[in-house]
């Protein structure tokens, strides 16, 4: 196996299709296109680690699509053991994550950087002990008021066509990365196609107005899911 692609999200039917589950949506789109079915962790050959994930195996390119079924802020509990099991380095692990700082459907590839306040991404950084792994950020748009409520909502009918198109583009970009493993070339190819300019350093390093960044008290489940 050459690559791991991790889509971040929250488990349970109540979270299906929500903005915070953009990582799941991208992997689901790839799986449908490739005729794959996500299976429980117990079906993964020679796996004896945590069972909190679903996986789908590609063979050309040789890669594993993974949807952690922990809460968002515990995503790293799955990613680090899987990387060790596969004998891969952080550069071989790409994380797909939602981003409130980007308009709905805007896509941005990066070779590394901070979490920007996204708790799932922060969990992966802490578990791997580095932020030097590639990621694809999927824009979900900024909140009108409360960030927690915003990320747990679904896209509006006006936004959905843009999101659907973005899922197709994201799938193509990830297939390219899984085949070649070169995030810089992938960025060059797809960012020009998406007509994106260079990002400012703050986009990957600085906190955004993310859930938990305001210091407000949240219910336990909300904290775990963000």
Asked if the peptide bond before residue 61 counts as cis, ω within 30 degrees of 0, the response is yes
> Nearest Cα to 64, choosing from 20, 94, 23?
94
3-state secondary structure of 107: strand
3-state secondary structure of 154: strand
Asked whether the beta carbons of 18 and 10 are under 8 A apart, the reply is yes
> How far is residue 14's CA from residue 82's CA, in Å, rounded to a whole number?
27
> How far is residue 215's CA from residue 49's CA, in Å, rounded to a whole number?
34
> How far is residue 24's CA from residue 123's CA, in Å, rounded to a whole number?
17
Asked whether the beta carbons of 107 and 136 are under 8 A apart, the reply is yes
Residue 176: active-site member: no
Query: 3-class secondary structure for 70-91?
Result: CCHHHCHHHHHHHHHHHCCCHH
Catalytic residue among 20, 150, 176, 208: 20
Task: Report the side by side order of strands in the sheet with 53-59.
Answer: 39-40, 53-59, 62-68, 3-7, 93-99, 135-139, 107-110
Bridge partners of residue 76, in order along the sequence = none
**How many other CB atoms are there within 10 angstroms of residue 86's CB atom?**
17
Catalytic positions: 20
């Amino acid at each position: 196996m050459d690559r791991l692609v991790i889509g971040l999200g929250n488990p349970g039917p109540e979270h299906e299709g929500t903005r915070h589950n953009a990582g799941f949506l991208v992997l689901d789109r790839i799986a449908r296109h490739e005729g794959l079915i996500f299976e429980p962790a117990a079906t993964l050959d020679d796996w004896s680690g945590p069972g909190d994930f679903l996986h789908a195996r590609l063979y050309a390119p040789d890669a594993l699509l993974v949807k952690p079924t922990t809460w968002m802020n515990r995503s790293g509990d799955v990613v680090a053991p899987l990387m060790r099991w596969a004998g891969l380095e952080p550069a071989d692990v790409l994380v797909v994550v939602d981003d409130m700082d980007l308009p709905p459907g805007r896509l941005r590839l990066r070779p590394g950087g901070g979490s920007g306040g996204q708790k799932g991404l922060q969990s992966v950084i802490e578990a791997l002990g580095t932020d030097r792994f590639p990621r694809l950020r999927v824009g979900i748009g900024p909140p009108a008021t409360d960030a927690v409520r915003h990320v747990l909502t679904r896209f509006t009918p006006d936004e959905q066509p843009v999101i659907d198109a973005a899922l197709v583009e994201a799938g193509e970009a990830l297939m390219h990365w899984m085949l070649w493993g070169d995030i810089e070339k992938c960025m060059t190819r797809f960012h020009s196609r998406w007509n994106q300019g260079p990002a400012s350093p703050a986009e990957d390093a600085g906190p955004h107005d993310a859930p938990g960044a305001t210091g407000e008290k949240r219910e336990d489940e909300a904290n775990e899911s963000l």
